[in-house]
Amino acid sequence: MNSIDLIVYIAIGIMSLAMLLGLIRFLIGPTVIDRVIAFDALTITSLVIIGVIAVLSNRMIYLDVAIVYGLLSFLGVIVVAKYIQRGL
CATH for 71: 1.10.287
pTM beyond cutoff 0.85: no
* Residues 65/70/73/74 CA torsion (nearest 10 deg): -150
Per the structure, the count of domains in the chain is 1
pLDDT on residue 6 = 87
Task: Tell me the chain's radius of gyration from C-alpha atoms.
Answer: 15
Answer yes or no: is pLDDT of 7 > 90. Answer: no
User: What are the tens digits of pLDDT across the range 74-84?
Assistant: 998 888 888 88
Full residue range of the structural domain in which residue 76 is found: 3-86
